[in-house]
Structure 1
Amino acid sequence: MSIPPPSGPQHPQDPQGLQGPYPAAQPQHHTQPQPQPQGAYPPPQLPHAAAPGFAPYGLYGPYGPRPPAAVNGVAIASLVLGVLCFLPAVGLVLGLIALRQIRRRGERGRGMAVAGSVLSSVGLALWVVSLSTGVAADVWQGFKDGARADSVLALRKGDCFNSPGGLEGWATEATTVPCARAHDGEVFAVLTRPDGAYPGDDRLTDLADERCYALQDAYVMDSWALPDDVAVYYLVPSRQSWRYGDREITCVFGHQDAKTRLTGSLRRDESTLDPHQVTYLEAAQVLNTAMEKAPVAEPSDEELADHTEWAREVADALAEQTGMLRAHRWPGDARRPVAELAGELEKAEEEWTAAAEATDLDTYYDHYDKGWDLLDARKSVTARKALGLATTPPEAERDAERGGGGGAIEV
């Protein structure tokens, strides 16, 4: 696995590799922190700027000690590859090269070159057979099942881990540790790709960047609780590990500075939140989803239809969010602040509805501005505090500028 850096909103590449808020990595099973759109995951994706990453444990065999001057080194390499049955085609080629060099230079090692060539030839034949019969996939699964607890292949959703090189460079180990302790990364999603031909590094890192950023909200439902210095990294299969049956993309949260560790779990989902917090955050996500669909172009007479259509989606989302807040039975301390927030959202819905019905740019802007002001994230702080949720808006929301674009304004 390799670790690429992240891209995306914050934006974190080479796989399975970690990429960070915008670094990326290269294979042998890769790890990109692509920090998250709120992601890609390998910037800080370890994905798309191509930061270094993780290589699957045990995929690469050692090349043995440097031989005495009288023995041909290429012959030794051929023999090692032949014995390990690793990259047999390379072992065969090295064996033939060694024989030629030995004849020309008068070096020793002919026996090793011949043995390496023969063993590599046998290994190559076995590889062809195994790949054509599906045996390789079984071998890979057995390898994963027997992987040590500190292997990068053993990482699962919710695991916090440390790796010798942090979220940079190549690594074979990822030791899981309690999330309360300092750690390099926290796994928030593991995706499995379908069988087929190797998609290529670029395709896998693009996919990891896209999917990891999309999945971060399911793991951290309360985006306000996600520190601004956290980035998204990911590990993706390398060409070599893909041949063995590796199909996993691992999405990881890490510090934007890949060498800096995090402390404490970032997980904020049904497993760590109470039902009231989950209901509130699910209602907020309805509005966030609509806001993220804002047209890219600035409002104009030519683009007015696109903006009024979007305003209609925002108005509908506000109606749904308000309905969810009104329907839930909140605990005593939260009833009043949530009710007051719902009232503000209903006022905002009226303005966004008027903006959706506007027939000219001036009318649209008039209601759009009023509707935007009513969605001020600070108005939800009291309700959030009563529910025990984070009360400091993310930097992106604090610094958001009003204009033709939208963006998440979670309340």
Structure 2
Amino acid sequence: MSIPPPSGPQPSQDPREPQGPYPAPRPQGAYPPAQFPYGGHPGLAPYGLYGPYGPRPPAAVNGVAIAALVFGVLCFLPAVGLVLGLVASRQIKRRGERGRGMAVAGSALSSLGLALWVVSLATGFAADVWEDVKEGTRGNGVLALRKGDCFDSPGGLEGWTAEADRVPCAREHDGEVFAVVSVPDGSYPGDDTLTDTADERCYGLRDGYVMDRWALPATVDVYYLVPSRESWDFGDREITCVLGNQDAQATLTGSLRRDATTLDSHQVTYLEAARVLNDALDKAPAAEFVEDDLPGHKEWAARMATALAEQTRMLRENQWPADAERPVRDLTAELDEAEGEWAKAAAAGDADTYYEHYDRGWDLVDPDGSVTARKALGLATTPPAYDEETERDPDSGGMRV
């Protein structure tokens, strides 16, 4: 038997038509034409933004890639930019993020910057840039100070400073540069090493700037400016040696320079001869008493005799001005006698014999004996004064305060 269909509209038996309780289809042309945003076409998801669940947001841009591009464009720390670019490329591939172009560009620019750094170091270009920096700061920076410059510093000669205003040496000033020392290239040696180097080199160069020790006030001491870690990284390899007041907050007035630029040829010759003996005097043995180190004292006496022979040779070879000829000749005769006594002290077989000749030799090199010759040559005539008077101990042959 047949079951009659239910009352009401009957579903179509055509399998091509949708089944179920749907509204009846409209006639053809009743729907508005399909709209595809962004200029898409049927069957295409525009710009890949459509998935199985409808529209989705674009992939995030990799932050490391952005950083790599920044480092590459600015060309500082190029090695960092190169590493960031490589890391970003791996992250982008693994996470499906955007920014591959920025990562590649950052790596390329950083590689170029790294190559330029290597070339600049190999060719000395960095050193030239450092010289340009110093020239740019000339007039108000410690980096541009040169031998003979007098300057003021905001904090005097204490602590760290990057400022130094050059001033005429005739007026009050904090310090006077007497030498600039270059130190070897390489990694930063540290503050202690630089200070030790400065202490040794600066004191050794002081007599070259102030040839006449008698003209150097007892209140003057040696200071130095050394590279900081930051300035070292930019190519600073100089130690600046400075003369200043022992009281770092006090000032100096007038230049202390006494060398060939400020003295005449006769004065220079006399002071060069005197330096030969001064150098020998500075090498006295560490042992205070002769009995404690007779061989050491004899060796020193031999150096003294050699220095005196060289000094008298230099004094005799020069043609002195008429006013200075006789005073220098008399001084040379005393130094000849002193040479003989120091030579006998060097040959002494016991301490008593050493003392006998040492005492005579010491009296003959007494500074007061050169005052007349110095006055005739226009040099300082007052022996150096110290805070504590130094005198010879006749019982030991040494020096005591």
Which TM-score tier does this pair reach, normalised by the shorter chain? 0.5 to 0.7
Superposed displacement of residue 127, structure 1: 9.0
Change (3 A) 1:128 1:165: farther
SS in structure 2 at match of 1:395: coil
Residue of structure 1 in register with 2:242 after alignment: 252
Q: Which runs of 5+ in 1 are unaligned?
A: 1-81, 89-122
Partner Cα separation in structure 2 for residue 197 and residue 217 of structure 1: 31
Residue of structure 2 in register with 1:381 after alignment: 371
Superposed displacement of residue 398, structure 1: 8.6
Change (3 A) 1:243 1:355: same
Matched letter for residue 337 of structure 2: K
Change (3 A) 1:163 1:124: farther
Structure 2 residue 223 is the aligned partner of structure 1 residue 241? no
SS in structure 1 at match of 2:391: coil
User: Which residue, 153, 158, 175 being the options, matches 1:168?
Assistant: 158
Compute the TM-score of the two structures, normalised by the length of structure 2.
0.67
Residue of structure 1 in register with 2:318 after alignment: 328
The question of whether the paired residues in 1 share the 8 Å contact of 2:301 and 2:343 is answered with: yes
Change (3 A) 1:406 1:195: farther
Residue of structure 2 in register with 1:76 after alignment: none
Structure 2 residue 285 is the aligned partner of structure 1 residue 264? no
Identity %: 64
- Compare CA radii of gyration and give the structure with the larger one: 2
Residue of structure 2 in register with 1:116 after alignment: none
Alignment of 1:194-233 (within 5 A): 194-233=184-223
User: Greater relative contact order (Cα 8 A, min sep 6): structure 1 or 2?
Assistant: 1
Partner Cα separation in structure 2 for residue 165 and residue 124 of structure 1: 42
Structure 2 residue 200 is the aligned partner of structure 1 residue 188? no
Change (3 A) 1:314 1:254: same
Structure 2 residue 329 is the aligned partner of structure 1 residue 339? yes
Partner Cα separation in structure 1 for residue 351 and residue 250 of structure 2: 48
User: Which residue, 290, 298, 301 being the options, matches 1:308?
Assistant: 298
User: Which residue, 266, 272, 279 being the options, matches 2:269?
Assistant: 279
Change (3 A) 1:340 1:131: same
The count of corresponding residues between Structure 1 and Structure 2 is 294
Alignment of 1:29-178 (within 5 A): 132-133=118-119, 134=121, 136-178=126-168
User: Which residue, 275, 296, 302 being the options, matches 2:286?
Assistant: 296
The question of whether the paired residues in 2 share the 8 Å contact of 1:136 and 1:243 is answered with: no
- Structure 1 vs Structure 2 CA RMSD: 2.9
Partner Cα separation in structure 1 for residue 335 and residue 227 of structure 2: 45
Matched letter for residue 374 of structure 1: L
Partner Cα separation in structure 1 for residue 359 and residue 351 of structure 2: 12
Compute the TM-score of the two structures, normalised by the length of structure 1.
0.66
The question of whether the paired residues in 2 share the 8 Å contact of 1:155 and 1:187 is answered with: yes
The question of whether the paired residues in 1 share the 8 Å contact of 2:358 and 2:397 is answered with: no
